[in-house]
Structure 1
Amino acid sequence: MIDEHSFSRRVPSGDTLERRVCNTCGFVDYENPKIVVGSVVRVGERILLCRRAIEPSRGLWTLPAGFMELHETAEEGARREAMEEACAAIRITGLLAVYSIPRISQVQLIHIAQLEGDAFAAGPESLEVRLFDWEEIPWGELAFPSVHWALRHRREVWDRTSCAPFSNPPGDLGDTLPR
């Protein structure tokens, strides 16, 4: 089959940025950031973390989170990710943070959640899932800068089930892990 469409990079009429545009029909192939949805799941005084079984950052700890799917809400996506990664049913009570990671073209929506029931286990993308007391969190083994941010932001509003959403720490775009 011969592809009738070829694309070139140019600024479409009425736009200000260079885009991929079909030379045949003028279709603009917009490239937009990926949306990640997840949650800081609190169980009593502990936090649920997953040890990653996949790259990037295989073997390091993270929150249950992942890419949002088409036709789902952010909350549905966060609940789905908790089930996929931690076999955990969660109840979302609020939006904790919106983080922007321009280096990898991501926007992350991280929720405040509680475990429903007491069941959780490693899903296919996790090597292990555990509950951590605040003092036990393996800070040096966290997978991504936004995991550090979300945990610290959750701690700031520990006794609340909702809050005004946090954002990236001032000047931090997630390029390096906190020390």
Structure 2
Amino acid sequence: MSKVPRVGIGVIIKMGRKVLLLKRKGAHGEGTWAFFGGHLKFNESLEEGAKREVEEETGVLIKNIRAATFTNDIFPKEKKHYITLFVIADFAGGTLPIKEPQYVEKLEWFMWGKFPKPLFTPVANLIKKGFNPFKV
């Protein structure tokens, strides 16, 4: 395990009363449901990182990106430790093709709290905190 946690980004995309989740594939957390995200790059703002990650993974456009909360995520099996910075963004259009099929199995809209299982550790930790993007 690295002695320094890495910084991850989680992008909660809202449309109406639903949020967009993806099923992970080919990376740690494979088979779990998560928000769009990845690593924050050096000299990159949180907003830039959120847009980049969403753009890399699909054709979805987002707007009104704002900081939300964070989680402290430890993956003992993978020997990884992340601080995940979550942002909320509004769906601004675009399409849902999967641009990185090696990392994303599928995409679906879900009502908040009515998520499929299993959840990626940062999402599970976010839920445990009682966070709700529709109440901020």
TM over 0.5: yes
Q: Deviations over 1:78-128 (max 9, x none)?
A: 111112223322124321112223563321110011111142232312111
Change beyond 3 A, Cα 1:110–1:46: same
Match of 2:118 among 141, 152, 156: 141
Q: Does the 8 Å contact 2:58/2:95 carry over to 1?
A: no
Q: Hey, what's the Cα distance between the residues in 2 that align with 1:134 and 1:37?
A: 19
Structure 2 segments unaligned to the other structure (5+ residues): none
Higher relative contact order (CA closer than 8 Å, sequence separation 6+): 2
The answer to whether residue 91 in structure 2 is matched with residue 106 in structure 1 is no
Q: Hey, what's the Cα distance between the residues in 2 that align with 1:158 and 1:141?
A: 22
User: Percent identical across equivalent pairs?
Assistant: 22
Q: How does 1:110-129 map to 2 (within 5 A)?
A: 110-124=86-100, 125-129=103-107
The answer to whether residue 53 in structure 2 is matched with residue 88 in structure 1 is no
Q: Hey, what's the Cα distance between the residues in 1 that align with 2:94 and 2:59?
A: 11
Give 1:73 deviation, angstroms.
Answer: 1.0
**Aligned-CA RMSD value:** 2.2
Structure (1 or 2) with the greater strand fraction: 2
Alignment-mate amino acid for residue 131 of structure 1:
W
Q: Hey, what's the Cα distance between the residues in 2 that align with 1:134 and 1:158?
A: 8
Q: Does the 8 Å contact 2:21/2:107 carry over to 1?
A: yes
Higher Cα radius of gyration: 1
Q: How many pairs were matched up?
A: 126
Structure 1 segments unaligned to the other structure (5+ residues): 1-30, 161-179
Q: Hey, what's the Cα distance between the residues in 2 that align with 1:85 and 1:118?
A: 12
Alignment-mate amino acid for residue 74 of structure 1:
L
Q: Hey, what's the Cα distance between the residues in 2 that align with 1:39 and 1:92?
A: 12
The answer to whether residue 52 in structure 2 is matched with residue 76 in structure 1 is no
Q: Hey, what's the Cα distance between the residues in 2 that align with 1:87 and 1:80?
A: 11
Alignment-mate amino acid for residue 108 of structure 2:
R
> Partner of 1:89: helix, strand, or coil?
strand
Task: Look up the match of 2:7.
Answer: 35
> Partner of 1:148: helix, strand, or coil?
helix
